[in-house]
Amino acid sequence: MSSKKRKWSDEYVQYGFTCITERDGSQRPQCMICNAKLSNSSLAPAKLREHFLKVHGDEKYKNTTLAEFKVKRARFDERATLPTFGFVPIDKPVLTASYKVAYLIAKQGKPHTICETLVKPAALKMANIMLEKAAENKLSQIPLSNDTISSRIDDMSNDILAQIVADLISSPAKFSLQLDETTDVSSLSQLAVFVRYVKDDMIKENFLFCRPLTTTTKAADVKKLVDDFFRDNNLSWDMVSAVCSDGAPVMLGQKSGFCSLVKAGAPHIIVMHCVLHRHALAPKTLPSKLAEVLKIVVECVNYVRNSALKHRIFRELCNEMGSEFEVLLYHSNVRWLSRGKVLNRVFAMRVELAMFLREHQHCHADYFENSEFILILAYMADIFDALNHLNQQMQGGGVNIIEAEENLRAFQKKLPFWKRRTENDNFANFPLLDDCVSKIEDVYGIGDISVPGELKQAIAMHLDELAKSLDGYFHTRESYPAWVRQPFTFSVATADVNDEYLDEIIELQQSQVQQQLFRTTTLSTFWCHQIAAYPLIAKKALEILIPFVTTYLCEQSFLMMVDIKTKKRNRLCCENDMRVAVAKVKPRISEIVSERQQQKSH
C-alpha cells in the first residue's frame, strides 16, 4: 500500500519554498534560495522551517517577511533571477562541487545521507580550523542534502546511459549482452545486464541496466524487461549479435527459456552458456573414495565454524602453535573457487585440525592421522587448485571465446599426461601430493609414504572422468576460422577458392603496416582497426570476438549491490547508483552543470 501524499499550502511560502509537481502528480517543495528539492514527506511546516533555519538562517534572510517571500515566489516561478533579494542560480563551482561529491559517494556505494551527516560537517570543521570562517561560509553553500545527492546521482546515471546508448547505436558492429539474475537484501529479484560493443577501434564493456522483476521471475518476465528497455532507448534485437547467461532453466530452457524466446524473434543471435558456470559444473563428479574425503572435510569444517565457541578455541589453538592461518574456510556449491580454497586451507592446517578434533573426541579425528586420507586430501587440494587456476584465467573483463577455448584445450590436453605420470609414480604435477610421498611425515610417525595402488587407480579414474566431463560441458562445435587468430600465417592455398573472405585476407597479408599493428596490439583491437579497410573479414572476426563467454561482470556487480542495497537501505531503487558505481563511462559533469545553469536562467 502506498503512503499518503502530502499537499502543498500557500502558507509554506513564508519558509522560502515554492511547489513543483512531478509527472505522477505528487507535489514537492523547492527552496527558492538554494533550489534544493525536498521529498513529498517534507511538506510540513516543521520540516520546511528546519531546512530554512539550518541552511539559510543567517542575517541575510532571517528578517524576510511573508509579503517579500510572496513576491520572490511569483518571480521565482517565472524562472527569473532575483539578484536584489539574493535569489540567484547556484554558482557553477558550487554546483560542480555538489556533483563531484555525489559521484564519489556513488562510486563508493555509500548512503546518500552521509554528506549531510558526515562529509559536509567534517569539511566545514576543517575549513574553519585551517582556513577560518570565510572558507567555512563558502563551503556551506554547497547543496549536499540527501535528496540533492539522489538527484545528482540520477542526473549522472541518465547521462552515462545516454552515452552508452549513443555508442551502441553508432557501433559499426552488433553488440552482445551478458545477463544474470539475483535476489537482493529485500528478497526482490534483480536482473543485471552488461553490454559489449565497438567504439574508437576498441571492444568496450559497460553496465547497461539493473531492474527488479517485481512479481514472477519467468523467462517471459525477463524478456519483457529487456524489451521495455530496448523500446525506451531506441534499441532492437536486430542490433544484438549474442547473449550470454548462466545455465538456469529460466535462461537456457529449450522451449520456454529466455534465450529460446530471444532466438524465436531473432534467429541470428548466438546463445552462450557461461564458461565459468560450465567449468564449475564439470569437476563435480568424483570417484566414491574422493567424494567421501570431501564429505568428511566439509563436515569437519562445519563442526568448527558453525559454533562461535569452537571457532574461538580453534583460533587460539592455531595462535599457540604458530600456525600460518587461524581460520578454516567454508565450502559453498555456488562459489566457483571455494572447493579448492577449502581443501588447500584444511591441508595446510591438518595438524591443528587433527589435534582440535581429538581433544573434542570428534568421530572424524582419526582420519587426519590416516596416511591414505592425507594423500587423497593432498591430491584433491592439488587438482582443485589447478582447476581454480584455469577458472581464474577465464575470469575478468575482455575475455573472448578464442582465449577461453585456448586455455580450456591446454588444460584438457594436460590431463592424459598427468594420468600417465601418476601411473609411473611421478607426481610432479601435484606438488602437495608429491611432497607427502617424497618426505617423511614426522607428525604422524608413519615413515616414508608410498601411494597405494587403489589410490593411484582412483586418481587415474578421476582424471579420466574429469576429461570426459569437460568434453560433455564444452561440446565440440565448428571452430572459428584460423585466419581470425593468425591472419598473417594463414595459408590461403588451403582455403576454399569460393570463400568470400579470401580476397580481403590476401590484401591484408600484403600490408606491412597491418602486420606491425598485429604484433603490437591485442587481437580484438587489431580487428577493430580493420573495419574501414577490410569490412568483410573484420565484421566476421568481430562476430567471434564481441560475444561474452562468462557472466563474470554480472556476478561482480552483484557484490557491489550488496554494498549499495543494505538492510538499512532495503527500499532503494538501486539502478542509478549501480550504473554510476559500476559503469566505466564517466558522467559529463561539466555539461550537466551547464545545462542546469541554463535551465535556471530561463
Confidence (pLDDT) at 332 = 66
Long-range contacts made by residues 341-347, C-beta under 8 angstroms, separation at least 24?
A: 341/388, 342/297, 342/298, 342/301, 343/294, 343/297, 343/377, 343/380, 343/381, 343/384, 343/385, 344/381, 344/384, 344/385, 346/297, 346/300, 346/301, 346/377, 346/381, 347/377, 347/378, 347/381, 347/432
DSSP 8-state secondary structure symbol assigned to residue 44: S
Of 25, 87, 152, nearest in space to 600 by CA: 87
CA distance 563 to 570: 11
Confidence (pLDDT) at 63 = 63
Chain position carrying cell 532571517? 62
Question: Quick check: 195 and 177 in contact, CB under 8 A?
Answer: yes
Chain position carrying cell 549536499? 144
In tens, the pLDDT along 228-283 reads: 999 999 999 999 999 998 877 777 666 778 888 998 889 999 988 888 888 877 77
Burial of residue 125 (number of CB atoms within 10 Å: 0-12, 13-18, 19+)? exposed
Question: Quick check: 257 and 273 in contact, CB under 8 A?
Answer: no
Confidence (pLDDT) at 5 = 77
In tens, the pLDDT along 60-114 reads: 566 666 666 666 666 555 544 444 444 445 678 889 999 999 999 999 999 999 9
Straight-line distance from the first to the last Cα atom of the chain, in angstroms, rounded to the nearest whole number: 39
Question: Quick check: 25 and 39 in contact, CB under 8 A?
Answer: no
Q: Is 337 helix (H, G, I), strand (E, B) or coil?
A: coil
Confidence (pLDDT) at 85 = 43
Confidence (pLDDT) at 65 = 65
Of 71, 53, 49, 72, nearest in space to 62 by CA: 53
In tens, the pLDDT along 140-170 reads: 889 899 889 999 999 999 999 999 999 999 9
What are the chain's domains?
Answer: 1-87 (no CATH), 89-271+569-602 (3.30.420.40), 281-473 (no CATH), 485-541 (no CATH)
Of 530, 283, 289, 317, nearest in space to 389 by CA: 283
Question: Quick check: 286 and 310 in contact, CB under 8 A?
Answer: no
Of 483, 470, 478, nearest in space to 409 by CA: 470
Confidence (pLDDT) at 443 = 43
CA distance 138 to 140: 5
- Under-70 pLDDT residues of the chain: 1-4, 23-24, 57-90, 252-254, 331-336, 439-452, 475-479, 599-602
CA distance 97 to 413: 57
CA distance 446 to 371: 8
Strand 202-213 to strand 240-245: parallel, antiparallel, or no bridges (unpaired)? unpaired
Residues 6+ apart with CB under 8 A from 367: 296, 373
Chain position carrying cell 587433527? 354
